A and B are shown apart, each in its own frame.
Chain A
Amino acid sequence: MFLTYLEAIRQGIWEEMERDPTVFCLGEDIGVYGGAFKVTDGFIDRFGPESVIDTPIAESAIVGAAFGASLTGMRPVAEFQFMDFIGCAFNQISNMVAKTHYLWGAPVPLVLRGPSGGYVHGGPFHSQNPEMWFVHNPGLKVICPATPYDAKGLIKSAIRDNNPCVFFEHKYLYRRIKEEVPAEDYVVPIGKARVAREGRHLSIITYAAMVHTALEAAETLSEEGIGLEIVDLRTVAPLDREAIAETVKKTNKVIILHEHSRTGGLAGEIAAIINEEAFDSLDGPIIRIAGLDSAIPFSPPQEQYYLPKVEDVVREARRLKAY
């Protein structure tokens, strides 16, 4: 099947709900309307209003209710209309959901999912990539797929996982990326990166929409004889330390690329992992390409300035290659 990124997620949740009656969805406008981005379009007709619940605009209640239901053995999939709004439920996620298994031993099989990311002129409250708020919360798995195949395989893994998973869908990719996805059931393991493109001169470690930015840059760079290796993390917590070390040991030069703000961003953590696992393999400085340390501005020229671009990757790759 040739599926968009959005359709792959939609199909993944649909198939899990058909497979396992303990899976149900809740969120704002997900039922009759089918969700702001239509990820759950048609679900309420197929699975009924008991299992596809339109909630009040109350993110803490959505997470709290999902958590409570998970304690009875259900597998809730809660949608955030935009991942920007997940901050409203932060205490519930950080102090209730994430700490439960460690503190009192109850498993929490739930998925918190929704659209994140920029490049769509959504403005400061509809463009954020707040994954780092959760990476720094032990007890959560944080997933950020880049392709339809991974999005479907990972949403299925997240639903089947016995732990709370925060699933960031990149809204820029929703209907822009299409690929062939197997018709039969499959999963993609959480916590495993993949090499999106092999190369021998330098590595880019990235995830989500930035994978496609890196792939585009790699085309330009290959014409100049620079072989870019692209590691798509797929999961940002837990990080695939082995895959990070492996690519650095292979190319000896590394760029870390992410969309969210630079300070306190994932690149800092990955640089520390490289320091711990592959310091002797480095032949150049670790380079970070990231969003600005500001809110994401609305106006298209400003937004473009804020966000990492193909030319940023090309420029930094040339600089690092020459180092």
Chain B
Amino acid sequence: MGNKKTKSRQSSNGNRVGTGALARPAERSSTKGSHSADRNLRTYSIPDYRLEHPDFTVRQVTEKDKYGHDHVRFEVEGNLDAPVPPIRDSKYLDKRQAIEIYRWMLLNRKMETALENLYKQGKVVGGVYFGLGQEACSCASAYALDRDDWFAPMIRNQGSMLVRGFGARDIMMQYMAKAGSPTRGRNATAHFGDIEKRNMVSPISMLGDLIPVMAGVALGARLQGRNLAVMTYIGDGGQSTGVTYEGINFAAVQNLGLVLFVESNLWAYSTPSEMQYRCTDLAERAIGYGIPGVIVDGTDACQVYDAAHEAVERAHRGEGPTMIEAKMMRMKGHAIHDAADYVPKPLFEFWKKRDPIARFENYVVREKKWLTPKENQDLIAGVEAEIEAEREIAVNSPMPTPESAEGGVFCENGCHEIKPKYGMPKVKKGTAYKATEAAVHLK
């Protein structure tokens, strides 16, 4: 299995013992001397970094309209007046890093605002997908990766792509289907990649398929002698797919450094998470895979970073995958065409108070005083100027020629030289070839 050196025994909750804060030994409810039924009852725990535990559920209700016709809508029930919790101090981030993450989050949001405007001006081909309310999850997670690590965003993780070194113009040109876009007009949105410099795998529209792919990236690197962290994301909707299971399980069995963010943003297009899965927290699924799971508040950049950092460190130590569930809400529709009328209004109000950027700004400027109000204003102005400059370049770049649809289906005529990125795998010395005499299936 290629992991002999690093494979350690796992405790019964899937968390490896003694490998950092993510990996806590199982807490067993039963103790010696209790009834045999209790000894047979196994309970598990998942670390939860959150400082609040939102308590509400969404369900379908049928009402009669004024004509007496049935009408089904979603309704939320629970405590929607809870006060906004503070940001949880990071165990790892220093002042400079916190300010950088804050800036990435601002850049993420202002780029998406610019995209919304470009759409309204008719300059975007197709739709626009937003990560509004999820900027902390995108930016603070990607910020935890080392340069050689790999990642694969989903459509709402445009912030991750900025953190990893793409320009806002790259993403804008993708949306406007420009010749100068990373896919030269061939694909839209966040659907592009770069295996040379930024180590990013392009997403496809089908959900979950990136998970085994990223496991494979880690496998390839390990064969070349490197333990890399490979980060990707899946939503509470996307995790319902079969390939999600296959991918996480493959990474678990092979002990590969997958860092999987499960972005529980409550809505999969129009379907609430209550209709997507039955368990309380998706992080609980980690137990079934035999890997560590952890829950964070996805609107708290410090919690996101800390969990990502610990998972990345585990990956670098060759200790295998981690599943991080980040709780938050998708604050717009599925894409720009979707007004999200199906979302009960009180939910928007609840999560609007937990806006990740407003909370982090308050933390950095007022609570920690790492930025003076003036420095903050300058930083915001700098981000706006950068977005405006990027927008200008993107808007003024040309569309592709029709004929550029042709070519490039295959790698041919020396268009790429393929070599192992991290070094030639070691060759095992072995016996000479000998013909097989084994019996055969379906003779």
B418 close to A73 (CB less than 8 A): yes
- Name the residue of chain B whose CB is nearest to the CB of A123: B442
For chain B residues 244-263, which have a beta carbon within 8 Å of chain A? 246-247, 249-250, 253-254
A275 proximity list for chain B (CB < 8 A):
none
A141 proximity list for chain B (CB < 8 A):
410
A50 close to B420 (CB less than 8 A): no
Assuming the contacts A22-B424, A50-B223, A58-B246, asked whether A68 and B410 have C-beta atoms less than 8 A apart, the reply is no
B220 close to A74 (CB less than 8 A): yes
Partner-binding segment picked from B54-62, B209-217, B332-340, B370-378: B209-217
CB distance from B100 to the nearest CB of A (A): 28
B416 close to A69 (CB less than 8 A): no
Docked Cα-Cα span, A11 to B427, in Å, equals: 17
Judge whether A36 is part of the interface by a CB distance below 8 angstroms: yes
A96 close to B209 (CB less than 8 A): yes
CB distance from B215 to the nearest CB of A (A): 5
B204 close to A104 (CB less than 8 A): no
- Name the residue of chain A whose CB is nearest to the CB of B438: A38
Docked Cα-Cα span, A95 to B191, in Å, equals: 12
Partner-binding segment picked from A39-47, A128-136, A291-299, A300-308: A39-47
A163 close to B183 (CB less than 8 A): no
B395 proximity list for chain A (CB < 8 A):
none
Judge whether A167 is part of the interface by a CB distance below 8 angstroms: no
Partner-binding segment picked from A59-67, A215-223, A249-257, A262-270: A59-67
A73 proximity list for chain B (CB < 8 A):
220, 224, 418-421
CB distance from B432 to the nearest CB of A (A): 9
Chain B interface extent, by class: 35 or more
Docked Cα-Cα span, A74 to B420, in Å, equals: 6
For chain B residues 273-306, which have a beta carbon within 8 Å of chain A? none
Among candidates B1, B183, B426, residue contacting A104 with C-beta atoms closer than 8 Å = B183
A69 proximity list for chain B (CB < 8 A):
216-217, 219-220, 223
- Name the residue of chain A whose CB is nearest to the CB of B200: A104
Assuming the contacts A22-B425, A60-B212, A91-B243, asked whether A174 and B440 have C-beta atoms less than 8 A apart, the reply is yes
B2 close to A101 (CB less than 8 A): no
B246 proximity list for chain A (CB < 8 A):
56, 58, 60-61, 64
CB distance from A175 to the nearest CB of B (A): 6
Chain A interface extent, by class: 35 or more
CB distance from A194 to the nearest CB of B (A): 22
A102 close to B209 (CB less than 8 A): no
Judge whether B409 is part of the interface by a CB distance below 8 angstroms: yes
A7 close to B191 (CB less than 8 A): no
For chain A residues 5-44, which have a beta carbon within 8 Å of chain B? 6-7, 10-11, 14-15, 18, 21-22, 24, 34, 36-38, 41-42
Judge whether A225 is part of the interface by a CB distance below 8 angstroms: no
B438 proximity list for chain A (CB < 8 A):
34, 38, 41
B416 close to A68 (CB less than 8 A): no
Docked Cα-Cα span, A34 to B436, in Å, equals: 10
B195 proximity list for chain A (CB < 8 A):
71-72, 106
Assuming the contacts A60-B242, A65-B212, asked whether A50 and B2 have C-beta atoms less than 8 A apart, the reply is yes
- On A, residues with C-beta under 8 Å from B are 3, 6-7, 10-11, 14-15, 18, 21-22, 24, 34, 36-38, 41-42, 45-51, 53-56, 58, 60-76, 91-92, 95-96, 99-109, 120-122, 126, 138-139, 141, 162-163, 171, 174-175
Further pairs besides A91-B243, A103-B183, A105-B408: 14, Cβ < 8 Å: A24-B425, A42-B434, A64-B211, A64-B243, A65-B250, A65-B254, A68-B218, A74-B223, A91-B206, A104-B194, A109-B411, A121-B442, A141-B410, A162-B412
Q: List 9 A-B contacts (CB under 8 A).
A: A47-B428, A53-B219, A68-B219, A73-B419, A73-B421, A74-B425, A95-B205, A100-B202, A139-B410
- On B, residues with C-beta under 8 Å from A are 1-2, 182-183, 186-187, 191-195, 201-202, 204-206, 209-221, 223-224, 230, 242-243, 246-247, 249-250, 253-254, 408-412, 415-416, 418-422, 424-428, 430-431, 433-436, 438-443
